[in-house]
């Protein structure tokens, strides 16, 4: 009887770890020269994911990268920076709001936002993004418009 209970417990633990791995999703974000929202854009600009999901940033044209913006990610989250014109896959490990930019086109507001789970740090991101957005020379409301969509 003890052997059967131990075997059942082990099987349940194994099934739980397999289902966690299987449930993680992969999302794609395109890095584009233009789309319906204007020039230099991520598509989608707002992405909702679960903690543990991966996000693949795909450059559709040359000269783009994807990187987290300093101080505009959840506390304790690992920052990332992709190389120019190179796909990068990022695993989202912490709940909250992440602001992403294309470094060479950041002054053109080439930004995206990822929400992992609940937007626990949204108020902080909105407050800090005002200073970050002062460097935009075009698409000045893009980041505010994206953040306004988060509930």
Q: For 39-91, what is each residue's pLDDT tens digit?
A: 999 999 999 999 999 999 999 999 999 999 999 999 999 999 999 999 999 99
CA–CA separation, 131 vs 72, rounded Å?
11
Q: In total, how many domains does the chain have?
A: 1
Residue 23: the pLDDT is 80
Domain span including residue 32: 25-148
**Dihedral, 95, 148, 40, 26 alpha carbons, nearest 10:** 30
Residue 22: the pLDDT is 59
Taking the model in full, what pTM does it have? Answer: 0.85
Residue 2 CB neighbours (<10 A): 6
Query: What CATH code is carried by the domain that includes residue 58?
Result: 2.60.40.420
**Do 89 and 117 meet the contact criterion of CB atoms below 8 Å apart?**
no
> Does 14 reside within a domain?
no
> Does 105 reside within a domain?
yes
**Do 136 and 107 meet the contact criterion of CB atoms below 8 Å apart?**
yes
> Does 56 reside within a domain?
yes
> Does 17 reside within a domain?
no
> Does 11 reside within a domain?
no
Across the chain, mean pLDDT equals 90
Structure-block tokens of residue 41: 């854009």
> Does 82 reside within a domain?
yes
Q: For 102-143, what is each residue's pLDDT tens digit?
A: 999 999 999 999 999 999 999 999 999 999 999 999 999 999
> Does 87 reside within a domain?
yes
């Amino acid at each position: 009887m003890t052997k059967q209970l131990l075997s059942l417990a082990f099987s349940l633990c194994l099934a739980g770890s397999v289902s966690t791995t299987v449930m993680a999703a992969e999302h794609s974000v395109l890095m584009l020269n233009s789309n319906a929202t204007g020039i230099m854009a991520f598509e989608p600009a707002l992405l909702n994911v679960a903690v543990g999901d991966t996000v693949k940033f795909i450059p559709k044209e040359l000269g783009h990268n994807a990187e987290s913006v300093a101080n505009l990610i959840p506390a304790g989250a690992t920052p990332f920076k992709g190389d120019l014109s190179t796909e990068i896959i990022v695993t989202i490990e912490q709940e909250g709001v992440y602001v992403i930019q294309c470094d060479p086109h950041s002054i053109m507001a080439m930004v995206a936002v990822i929400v992992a789970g609940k937007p626990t740090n949204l108020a902080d991101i909105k407050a800090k993004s005002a200073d970050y957005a002062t460097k935009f020379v075009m698409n000045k409301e893009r980041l505010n418009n994206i953040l306004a969509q988060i509930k």
